[in-house]
Structure 1
Amino acid sequence: MNHDKTAKEILSAVGGNDNINNVIHCVTRLRFTLKDMQAPNKEEIKQIDGVLTVVESGGQFQIVIGNEVPKVYDSLLKTMGRSPETTSSDNAVQGEKKGLFNRFVDVISGVFMPVVGVLSAVGILKGLLALFITLNWLTEEMSTYKILFAIADALFYFFPILLGFSAGKKFGGNPFISATIGAVLVYPTMTAAFTEGTAMSFLGIPVVLMNYTQSVIPIIIASYLAATFEKWLSKIAPSSIKMFFVPLVTLAIITPIVFLAVGPVSTLVSDYLAAGAMWIYKLSPIIAGLIMAGIWQAVIIFGLHWAFIPILINNLTTNGFDPINGMLFCTTFSLTGASLAIAIKTRDKRLKPIATSATIAGLMGVTEPAIYGVTLPAKKAFIMASIASGIAGALAGFMGSTAYGFAAGGVFGIPIFINPKGMDTGFIGFILSVLIAFVLGFILTYMFGYKNASPSASSKQEKVEQAQPSLVTSDSNGYAGVSAISPVQPVTEAQEEKTVFSPLTGKLIPLTEVGDEAFSSGAMGQGAAIVPTKGVAYAPFDGVVVTIFKTKHAIGLLSEDGVEILIHVGINTVSLKGKHFTSFVSDGDTVRKGDKLVEFDLEGITAAGLDTTTSVIVSNTAVYTDIQAKEQGSIVQGDALITVK
């Protein structure tokens, strides 16, 4: 994957920089908050190289990338000309209104996303320390243990500070102000006063002291109040003193409010949430595990799992343990087992490496490749994996499997389920649930969830496969590119030049003069551009139609000698939704040089206010050492246009 190219195509696809309020990323997804959620074309975005799928959920437009998402995110920020700070808040421009639940999911994902990686790391370390104590490798009196435990426990102890910083950024306030409020909540004097039962008041008003170490909800509410007050104060404060005046007044007013009202009330809410979760769990751990684990991966598909994160973390910070994640953790392994079954069983040479890599990613705790690249396309495989998850989750609930830390899925998260007091039946049940999920996911998928394609495939599909077809990538503006997925023979000096003939009649101009950067920059590949004088495009060589877009404005072709060509008629013509276009070929058709591909109404396109300049791109540019286009001037359909070596 070319991360810069993928980022440029995604940026254009979501409506450009001006349509983005903010963008963050998680383990596998780019999560956009857009001004106009209708601007992107999801089906075309799915074709961009590196994109697994697209999900709209929680008020976010989520593009699933997989393990490469951090690199694509970095390239996206560079392309956008923004820093992470300027993309992480919603204060710049308000997008379309979102429902209460969508706003909740958006806030939770934005607040917790930046700390999830570290949160998982220290959770795993805590689990490993419990294991080392059980095995008598360490004792609690050893200095080594104390240092490692401090590393594992510090984030939880000072959680209000880190969450304050993250929440401050999310709400568009000064993150250092909200982090300072978090620090005040866990300040030693205040913590000692609570421990010793010391009475305190503020301006004569009694303060109900609470233990805010490891707390979650109070600082999130406090950060929202601080950000809101800070924005208002910034508008009226004199610019000459704003730098120190705004933080001073915000801290002096909001912090006491937190101690007097927000903290006690939100801490009480936290306690009730934890008690409520435990009450539901205790009604029937088996049924809870069966239902929750059975639907959990479907919840992830819609990105709604972030709504559960506060509950899981609140259980840990309030009770010191969390049984819900004990039931859900096995779901990663059922999908991993299903992916392995398909990797072993499939005869599809393209699917086998995808399923294999998805299996490896699943063992590491990343399930999106297994979901979108392997099991969902097979449909029954996803159902089989969900059945395996439900059965394994029911067992975990029955055995009382419990998490004592927070971590993403996968083998590295296993230690968080070890009871600090020593291994118990809950951990044994957890291990059994993971093994059953993996084995049952494998067996059910292998036997019932996947069938190899029938040898009597359609003739068109056979033609495309025999010609080593490519995947076509596109964006919401209708730009498309062809990205090779089959092995390409190395180019040698003995190989002859290959010629691509002009599909159009008109005026030839350099590709650099096309009025859109996606083409003029060469990001889509090298080639030429034609301002057509006749509204007909013909086949530029003998080959196969890899794809013709449903809007008929773009056609991907593969020549008999391996040259991949994209003919893209006009700029932004995807917006016409096929109007003014008539196609004469379908996907998989064999064409000869000069066969009519598509007709288009030049006057109709121009009247719609669109540019008819047509780009002819060598999509597999990287394969060749030299690509030369004919010099600008008039050109007739059938003339030599591009030579490749």
Structure 2
Amino acid sequence: MAENHQIAKEIIEAVGGEDNIISVAHCATRLRIMISDKEKVDQARIEDTDKVKGAFYNSGQYQIIFGTGTVNKIYEEVTKLGIGGATKSEQAKKAAKSGNAFQRAIRTFGDVFVPIIPALVATGLFMGFRGLVMQEQVLALFGMTPDDISENFLLFTQILTDTAFIFLPALVAWSTFRVFGGSPIIGIVLGLMLVSPALPNAWGVASGSVEPLMFLGFIPVIGYQGSVLPAFIAGIIGAKLEKQIRKRVPDAFDLIVTPFLTLLIMIALALFAIGPIFHMVEEIILRGTVAVLEWPFGISGILIGFFNQIIVISGVHHVFNMLEIQLLERFGFNPYNAIVTCAVAAQGGAALAVGLKTKARKLKALALPSSLSAFLGITEPAIFGVNLRYGKPFLMGLIGGGVGGFFASIFGLKATGMAITVIPGTLLYLNGQILLYLLVNFIAIGTAFTLTWMFGYSDKMLENKK
């Protein structure tokens, strides 16, 4: 406790003192500080503070990596020293005003889709477990064949794996209304209207077994099961429309008039304009994504595996959430995940090499846990605390990610879900792919480890940095 109290004091002093701190919040691994004057921050002192695994500016905040558990204790000590705390969402609203238009748009995209991911992670795990128990080899252990599986069991698994995607527009519209200041419950209802059973089912229309309704003879009206963009755009416009209506409606009529007009106007716009237009846009984006992933000779795996962690540092990676969702909804699998997993694992391999090679106790104590964190799917401690700090290990990790991504692409690995990687990600490959999945991860880790050990790090770097 005393140690954490001292660390908190050093952090406050190193960022320029109490007067330079607007607010403090934390997430699962990082202390997030809103700073008045960036010039007053002593980066070297921050990085030399005990338990700090790295520090950087992102999303308008100065973020200091401590790791899970530790960050909660440090935050508690910081607030005890009289620093005003703030929730992560409150900070996000302040941070949203910083950066250029593109950065703000990317942050908003992440704010909308990140809260939806846990439901899709669970769905992916259900798909993985169903793939495992339905394998003939597994069933044979119990003296069974796939024909012995009851229809009721298959129906139960279908409920687990299909529900999130059937009602995906409701999830997207809810989250979009929430981010853009509308009433989330109106967002949910609008999203549910887009998948109403009264409309021709999107999957039935796609298969040709159902005809779309034609409005004015040329506008196709269908349900939007599994769609993302129509609900996202409708959510943005709907939230802004609701706020404008609320400003103009007397308080006595707000409860009745505002939701009535919002839903009436938005469902008309969504079905007759937003839906048809952005469903086509969504289709074009999906076809482009599939075309890139199908490039021959593992080229897509090399490029995505190499550049993924650079994209993560820039914060633009949230855009790919929508693409992964669309891949899962349309095809039931996600080849992007296996390639990204190699990029994550490789950064862990580079950090592991640094941790085992260095003789500096503090760096060893930082690098080894950071590599484990990367193997659990969280790369920030490894990247910002170790690899980027010394430069070459990060590059070797990128190369390892490219090599692993190449083999993931060549082997045609396809996850049953998204958002979890490396060790937790094994649960997405239980449908007969697990050995190949482990192999590509070992290739990525081994390549990054070997290159870092041979060319990427020596303790002379540590001395030069000092």
Q: Report the TM-score when normalising by structure 2.
A: 0.81
2:210 is aligned to 197
The change in CA–CA distance for 1:269 and 1:40 in structure 2 (over 3 A counts) is same
2:457 to 450, 460, 481: 450
2: CA distance between counterparts of 1:61 and 1:230? 30
User: Contact 1:206 / 1:260 at 8 angstroms: preserved in 2?
Assistant: no
1:163 is aligned to 172
Matched, 1:386 2:384: no
2: CA distance between counterparts of 1:349 and 1:409? 29
1: CA distance between counterparts of 2:74 and 2:211? 49
Matched, 1:320 2:307: no
1:269 to partner: Cα distance: 1.2
What code does the residue aligned with 1:44 have?
Answer: D
Alignment of 1:561-576 (within 5 A): none
Matched, 1:278 2:280: no
The change in CA–CA distance for 1:210 and 1:221 in structure 2 (over 3 A counts) is same
Residue 208 of structure 1: SS of its match in structure 2?
strand
The change in CA–CA distance for 1:215 and 1:337 in structure 2 (over 3 A counts) is same
Q: Residue deviations 1:108-159, cap 9 Å, x none? A: 1110122223322332232122122112279653655644553343222222
What code does the residue aligned with 1:117 have?
Answer: P
- Between Structure 1 and Structure 2, the one with more helix by share is 2
Matched, 1:300 2:300: no
The RMSD of aligned alpha carbons is 3.8
The change in CA–CA distance for 1:244 and 1:64 in structure 2 (over 3 A counts) is farther
More relative contact order in 1 or in 2 (CA 8 Å, sep 6+)?
Answer: 2
Residue 262 of structure 2: SS of its match in structure 1?
helix
1: CA distance between counterparts of 2:244 and 2:169? 24
1:310 to 318, 322, 332: 322
What code does the residue aligned with 1:264 have?
Answer: P
1:274 to partner: Cα distance: 0.9
1: CA distance between counterparts of 2:79 and 2:214? 47
Residue 212 of structure 1: SS of its match in structure 2?
coil
Return 362-371 or 442-451, whichever deviates more. 442-451
The change in CA–CA distance for 1:326 and 1:194 in structure 2 (over 3 A counts) is closer
2: CA distance between counterparts of 1:183 and 1:356? 47
Q: Residue deviations 1:156-186, cap 9 Å, x none? A: 2222222222111111111111111111112
Q: Residue deviations 1:15-55, cap 9 Å, x none? A: 525xx9xx895x645779x8xx9744484378287572223
2:100 to 98, 101, 107: 98
Alignment of 1:520-559 (within 5 A): none
Alignment of 1:391-430 (within 5 A): 391-417=403-429, 423=432, 429-430=436-437
User: Contact 2:20 / 2:37 at 8 angstroms: preserved in 1?
Assistant: yes
What code does the residue aligned with 2:305 have?
Answer: A
2:63 is aligned to 63
1: CA distance between counterparts of 2:303 and 2:363? 31
1: CA distance between counterparts of 2:203 and 2:303? 41
User: Contact 1:129 / 1:149 at 8 angstroms: preserved in 2?
Assistant: no
1:435 is aligned to 442
Matched, 1:241 2:242: no
What code does the residue aligned with 2:173 have?
Answer: G
2: CA distance between counterparts of 1:128 and 1:2? 45
- Percent same amino acid among aligned pairs? 25
Q: Residue deviations 1:484-515, cap 9 Å, x none? A: xxxxxxxxxxxxxxxxxxxxxxxxxxxxxxxx
Return 163-172 or 192-201, whichever deviates more. 192-201
Return 111-120 or 241-250, whichever deviates more. 111-120
1:16 to 18, 22, 28: 22
- Unaligned 5+ segments in structure 1 are 462-645
User: Contact 1:321 / 1:402 at 8 angstroms: preserved in 2?
Assistant: yes
1: CA distance between counterparts of 2:159 and 2:235? 26
Equivalences, count: 439
User: Contact 1:297 / 1:386 at 8 angstroms: preserved in 2?
Assistant: yes
Q: Residue deviations 1:220-266, cap 9 Å, x none? A: 10110111111111111111111232111101111121011111211
Residue 350 of structure 1: SS of its match in structure 2?
helix
1:352 to 361, 364, 385: 364
Return 140-149 or 348-357, whichever deviates more. 140-149
Residue 251 of structure 2: SS of its match in structure 1?
coil
Q: Residue deviations 1:447-468, cap 9 Å, x none? A: 222212499x69xx7xxxxxxx
1: CA distance between counterparts of 2:323 and 2:20? 32
1:44 is aligned to 42
2: CA distance between counterparts of 1:303 and 1:273? 20
1: CA distance between counterparts of 2:347 and 2:202? 49
2:181 is aligned to 172
1:297 to partner: Cα distance: 1.3
User: Contact 1:53 / 1:63 at 8 angstroms: preserved in 2?
Assistant: yes
2:129 is aligned to 128
Residue 63 of structure 1: SS of its match in structure 2?
strand
Residue 315 of structure 1: SS of its match in structure 2?
helix
Return 436-445 or 69-78, whichever deviates more. 69-78
1:625 is aligned to none
Residue 164 of structure 1: SS of its match in structure 2?
helix
The change in CA–CA distance for 1:431 and 1:185 in structure 2 (over 3 A counts) is same
The change in CA–CA distance for 1:221 and 1:111 in structure 2 (over 3 A counts) is same
1: CA distance between counterparts of 2:444 and 2:351? 12
User: Contact 1:326 / 1:417 at 8 angstroms: preserved in 2?
Assistant: no
User: Contact 1:274 / 1:319 at 8 angstroms: preserved in 2?
Assistant: no
1:108 is aligned to 109
Structure whose CA Rg is larger? 1
1:399 to partner: Cα distance: 1.9
The change in CA–CA distance for 1:383 and 1:28 in structure 2 (over 3 A counts) is same
2: CA distance between counterparts of 1:226 and 1:72? 41
1:72 to partner: Cα distance: 7.9
